């Protein structure tokens, strides 16, 4: 079945550092790919998405490109802030999963001032 594998956490970085959180997926068909974020004490929010190969999703300085050839959707940000501290989930839907979202295990990111 469909699955998502993402970088184990926790990840700790200093403010203004470059961030990459790796995500790869397995799916049949043509899934849409997502990054969701969960800030401390808050609900799950959509951060960005891409619906087809080579699409780039972006929001709040974060970017991820849908790479079909490497089945990847890595999350990047050029300069992180303390306020980016959260848990990040890579996810997919569509493919053989119909409408349900398949989530990765989540990566906890902590940013030091």
Our finding on whether 11 is near other proteins (CB under 8 A) is no
HSE at residue 47, side-chain half, CA atoms within 13 A, is: 26
Whole-number minimum distance, CB 89 to other proteins, in Å?
7
Give phi and psi for 37, each to the nearest 5.
-130, 140
Q: How far apart are CA 79 and CA 17, in angstroms?
A: 5
Q: 3-class SS at 83?
A: helix
Exposure string over 79-92, b if 16+ CB within 10 A, otherwise e: ebeeebbbbbbbbb
Q: Kindly indicate which of the ranges 10-18, 30-38, 61-69, 71-79 contains the residues binding other proteins, using the contact rule CB under 8 A.
A: 30-38
Our finding on whether 107 is near other proteins (CB under 8 A) is no
Our finding on whether 49 is near other proteins (CB under 8 A) is yes
Whole-number minimum distance, CB 78 to other proteins, in Å?
25
Our finding on whether 57 is near other proteins (CB under 8 A) is no
Q: How far apart are CA 11 and CA 110, in angstroms?
A: 6
The binder of other proteins chosen from 106, 107, 109, 111 (CB under 8 A) = 106
Q: Which residues bind other proteins (CB under 8 A)?
A: 32, 34, 36, 42-46, 49, 89, 93-94, 98-106
């Amino acid at each position: 079945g469909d699955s998502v594998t993402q970088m184990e956490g926790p990840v700790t970085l200093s403010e203004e550092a470059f961030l990459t959180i790796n995500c790869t997926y397995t799916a049949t068909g043509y899934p849409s790919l997502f990054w969701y974020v969960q800030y401390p004490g808050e609900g799950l929010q959509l951060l960005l998405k891409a619906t087809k190969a080579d699409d780039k999703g972006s929001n709040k300085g974060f970017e991820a490109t849908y790479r079909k050839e490497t089945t990847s959707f890595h999350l990047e940000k050029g300069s992180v802030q303390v306020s980016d501290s959260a848990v990040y989930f890579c996810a997919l839907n569509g493919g053989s999963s119909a409408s349900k979202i398949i989530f990765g295990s989540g990566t906890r990111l902590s940013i030091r001032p």
